[in-house]
Each structure stands twice: as C-alpha cells, then as structure tokens.
C-alpha cells in the first residue's frame, strides 16, 4: 500500500511540474517569437515596397510634368500660359504706331481682369513671334504680368503677315499709310494680284488699289497722314496734283485753314485750273493810243501807259524810279508848256 502511494506521489509530482512548465507551451512561445519577427520583417519589407512605389509614382509624375511642358512648347491649338519674356513682336507687323493713352487704359483693365483673349504666336529659333495680339502683349507688360495666354500655331511667313493684317484691319487699328504699306509688301513679296489680296482680306479690289495709291504722295505728306494731321480723304484729293511742291503747299493750306475734304477738292481744282483773266474788250482807235504812248516814252525817257476807261475817259501813267528822275520829268513837262 505504501509503495503505491509513493509511486502515486512521484507520478503526481511529475504531472505537477509538467503542468507548471509544459514543454509544448515553451515550443509555442518560441514559435510565436519567430512569427512576430517574420511579421516585423514583412512589415518592413512592405513599408520599403510602399516607399519604392511612392518613389516610382513621384518619378512618373515628374516625367508626366516634363511631357506636359514639352507638349506646351509645341503647337496644340489650345490656349496655354507662357512666360511673357519668351514672346517678341513680329518684325513684319504692319502696325508701327500705338496710342500710349489707349495702351495705359488697356493695361489697367488687364491688371484687374487679366488677358481675356489669347495671343496668337508662332515658334521662331529662340523666341515666339506675335502674329496677332501685340497691343495686348504691350499692355500686359505695362500691367506687370509675368505670363500671358497664347495659342501656338505653325504657319508660313505669308500666312502670318495676312493674319496680322486682317486682325488689324478688323480692329481698325492701322492708319491709312500702314495699311497701304502692308498691302504693298504682300503684293511685292509674294506676287499676289490685287484681286487675290482683296479676297484674302475681305476688301474690294478698288479699296486695295485706292489705298496703295496713297504711297505715291510725297513722304512729308505721308507723315502728316500718319500723325493724323490729314485724313485719307484729304490725301486722296491731293493725288490729283502731280507736282510735289504743289502737294506740300496744298497740304499746309489744308492744315492751316482746317479745310474739309470737300473744300480740299475745290482747292485742288483751283490749282489745276487757274482762273483765266478776262481780257478787256479792245476799244476803237487802240492803235492810235499805242502810238501816243511811244511818243511820250521817247519824249520823257521813261515808261508811259495810257489806260482808257471808255471812248472818252482814261488816265496816263508815267513811271519813275528815283527822286532825281521824277524831278527830271517835271522839268521836261515845265519846259513843254
């Protein structure tokens, strides 16, 4: 009985130790630690993967932005913002004069509302040339803008000149001489006929011809038209005068007397057809009086003229050219009495 109790005690003690420190639990703890480590490593790897993915995304974004920038430098037909310092006026722009007061007013509007209509530009070697919108570009610079909206368009030199001319004509921004010179340049540079040019700019052939005729005037008169001292109507009236001196004299008269176009036409007509002096009808016996004039001239030694008013009246004119000569003539008349 005692032995059984002893064995039972040992067996019970063994169970107690196992229950206090079970082998399976120790193995489980070790495995758990390993699992934790694996999870931690996986998390680190996952974070690194996320970082790598984010880096790739950032690189892709940079590449995409670079692509967008490259696209913006090419003609797209769509408005885009461009550094104002990359843009320059068209060297063949027909418009040469800009009203400073009007530019200042436009600059104030742009400062408040921005440039509402994009500029039309074309790519040159190291800049973008303005095809249409130079006035807006100048006003934007006055307003202090760094960027302006533009549309980039590929076009030939002729197309660029035609578009610039058409825009200015539609806005009535050109003075008559700028317009005439632009027509002349297109015809001379590209061999266009008046009919072809008229169709391109939506003008009549007669309007093109009359405009270009102004360039036949003296350069001084062209400057008067450019300054606004003379209108196109005044200039066209002066074309009838072929003599340059007559043109200048008439132009100055127009300005001094503030003549209208109708009055200018009358002035030109007078210069072209000076009034003919009406000769007085010959009176009877005119030859006899001419003989008397000669006789008196020989006697007095000076010019004598008999001016007859009618058959019975008139006057005798005796010319003298110094006081001494007058005294000499008087002495002769005294002696003749």
Which residues are annotated as catalytic? Answer: 134
Find all residues with CB under 8 Å of 106, minimum gap 6, and list them: 135, 136, 139
DSSP 109-133: HHHHH---SPEEEEE-SSSEEEEE-
Residue 288 pairs with which residues in a beta bridge?
none
Nearest to 139 by CA among 111, 179, 172, 170: 111
Q: Kindly report the three-state secondary structure assignment for every residue of 11-26.
A: HHHHHHHHHHCCHHHH
Query: How far is C-alpha 32 from the chain's CA centre?
Result: 83
Find all residues with CB under 8 Å of 142, minimum gap 6, and list them: 103, 104, 107
d(CA 90, CA 158): 13
Look at strands 314-318 and 304-308 and give their pairing: antiparallel
Burial class (CB in 10 A: 0-12, 13-18, 19+), 147: middle
Task: For residue 36, give Cα distances in angstroms to 48, 49, 142, 315.
Answer: 18, 19, 69, 146
The number of helices, as runs of H, and strands, as runs of E, in the chain is: 14, 7
d(CA 30, CA 27): 5
């Amino acid at each position: 009985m005692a032995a059984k109790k002893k064995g039972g005690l040992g067996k019970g003690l063994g169970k107690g130790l196992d229950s206090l420190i079970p082998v399976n639990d120790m193995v489980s703890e070790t495995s758990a630690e390993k699992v934790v480590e694996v999870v931690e490593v996986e998390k680190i790897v996952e974070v690194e993967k996320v970082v790598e993915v984010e880096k790739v995304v950032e690189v892709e974004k940079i590449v995409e932005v670079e692509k967008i920038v490259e696209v913006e430098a090419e003609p797209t037909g769509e408005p885009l913002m461009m550094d104002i310092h990359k843009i320059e006026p068209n060297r063949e722009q027909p418009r040469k004069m800009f009203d400073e007061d009007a530019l200042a007013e436009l600059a104030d509007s742009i400062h408040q509302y921005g440039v509402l209509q994009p500029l039309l530009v074309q790519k040159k070697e190291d800049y973008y040339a303005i095809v249409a919108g130079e006035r807006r570009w100048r006003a934007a610079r006055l307003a202090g803008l760094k960027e302006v909206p533009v549309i980039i368009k590929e076009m030939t030199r002729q197309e660029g000149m035609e578009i610039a001319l058409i825009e200015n004509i539609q806005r009535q921004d050109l003075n008559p001489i700028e317009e005439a010179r632009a027509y002349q340049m297109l015809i001379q540079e590209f061999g266009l006929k008046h009919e072809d040019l008229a169709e391109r700019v939506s003008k009549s052939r007669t309007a093109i011809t009359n405009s270009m005729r102004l360039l036949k005037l003296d350069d001084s008169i062209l400057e008067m038209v450019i300054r606004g001292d003379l209108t196109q109507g005044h200039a066209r009236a002066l074309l009838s005068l072929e003599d340059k001196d007559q043109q200048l004299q008439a132009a100055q008269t127009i300005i001094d007397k503030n003549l209208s176009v109708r009055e200018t036409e009358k002035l030109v007509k007078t210069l072209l057809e000076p009034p003919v002096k009406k000769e007085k009808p010959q009176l009877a016996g005119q030859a006899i009086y001419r003989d008397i004039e000669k006789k008196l001239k020989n006697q007095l030694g000076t010019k004598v003229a008999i001016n007859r008013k009618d058959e019975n009246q008139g006057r005798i004119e005796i010319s003298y050219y110094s006081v001494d000569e007058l005294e000499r003539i008087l002495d002769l008349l005294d002696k003749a009495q």
